[in-house]
Amino acid sequence: MREFGYQRASDVAGAVALLGADPDTRFLGGGTNLVDLMKAGVERPARLVDIRELPLDQIESTPQGGLRIGATVTNGELAAHPEVRRRYPALAQAVLAGASGQLRNMATVGGNLLQRTRCGYFTDVTKPCNKRVPGSGCPAVGGEHHNHAILGASEHCVAVHPSDMAVALTAFDAVVSYETADGPGRLPLGEFYLPVGGTPHRETALPPGALITGVTLPPTPAAANSRYRKVRERASYAFAVGSVAAALDIRDGVVRDVRLALGAVASRPWRAVAAERVLTGAPAGADTYAAAADAELTAARPLPHNGYKVTLMRNLVVAVLTELAEEAAR
Ligand SMILES: Cc1cc2nc3c(=O)[nH]c(=O)nc-3n(C[C@H](O)[C@H](O)[C@H](O)COP(=O)(O)OP(=O)(O)OC[C@H]3O[C@@H](n4cnc5c(N)ncnc54)[C@H](O)[C@@H]3O)c2cc1C
Ligand code: SF4
């Protein structure tokens, strides 16, 4: 690990000014991803600006009836918050499905959104990787890719986004707030992550030097009946091989409102728009849920060793929607 400078910021404007336009400086949240990448030589910042003492550690109700979550709220605090558990249970479940208790006590909301892919070639600096070194190639396409993308990938990169939390936030139309030297800005999560295309090294639409200040959840009555289900290779302490965040509102046997997002299938959390279209206004039931999953997964383009994810995701969507419908009927 090479030597680096360290500064602690005490207010938002100061943090943004300390980072400035210096491409060699990084914000430090919990450090649970950044420091690992520094040890591996993937990240080589000259300076870190520690943002953990910024006054961004609150979860508050908004006047509209949603929730505003500060960027330095830890994953542990987020999952334990009574209003998150009551109004957006899938979000609490998604956070608890990730990492370990110790890591969740360090990891922050802002850092979780910006964590990097777990593709083994990305973290191995002896290998080419378009995301790490643009133009160097993507060995995963013809190599190890059993946990890589089936949706929205390109020949330049087939990695998946690792966050569980971001999948639930995507289902609930969360909006990211940020601050730059030119003033504040907001990005709906659906626009926050960029399509992979030919530029896998450009992952988000955040302007250079932006500090994430928080995430706002709009009021979503359907979210009270929501669930996050994660499939992984070990029972704990493992990233998803596929996940679903869903909310369902059924009245008189008809789907009135639905939110559906898929995880570990694309370079970003995948909002299942085609499936939601099939579900909305349709009679609730296994046939409808299966038709919705199929509508979404017709766009899947699996690689030779990850075709299992198509079946897995279909079954997962049907299972989660069925469970939510049963719960709503009780
Ligand atoms: C063993 C292990 C298992 C894990 N398992 C899971 C899992 O199953 N599911 C899951 O979702 N995650 C998992 N994680 C990832 C973990 O959730 C992330 O490492 C964590 O959320 C990152 O948060 P952080 O605050 O530590 O970020 P940091 O490491 O501090 O930062 C990550 C990146 O975000 C930037 N950054 C941080 N905060 C801000 C901000 N406010 N504004 C702008 N930029 C910012 C940093 O500069 C850096 O580039 C695991 C991690 C480990 C080590
Ligand atoms: S899938 Fe993406 S992250 Fe993995 S080697 Fe290819 S370019 Fe790099």
> Nearest C-alpha to atom 8 of ligand 1 is from which residue?
98
Ligand 2: centre distance to CA 232 (Å): 20
Does 79 contact ligand 1 (Cβ within 6 A)? no
**pTM over the 0.95 mark:** yes
Does 268 contact ligand 1 (Cβ within 6 A)? no
Query: How confident is residue 20, by pLDDT bands cut at 50, 70 and 90?
Result: confident
Strand order in 5-8's β-sheet?
5-8, 47-50, 25-28
What digits encode the pLDDT tens for the residues 226-267? 999 999 999 888 999 999 999 999 999 999 999 999 999 999
Task: Give the per-residue pLDDT at 1.
Answer: 65
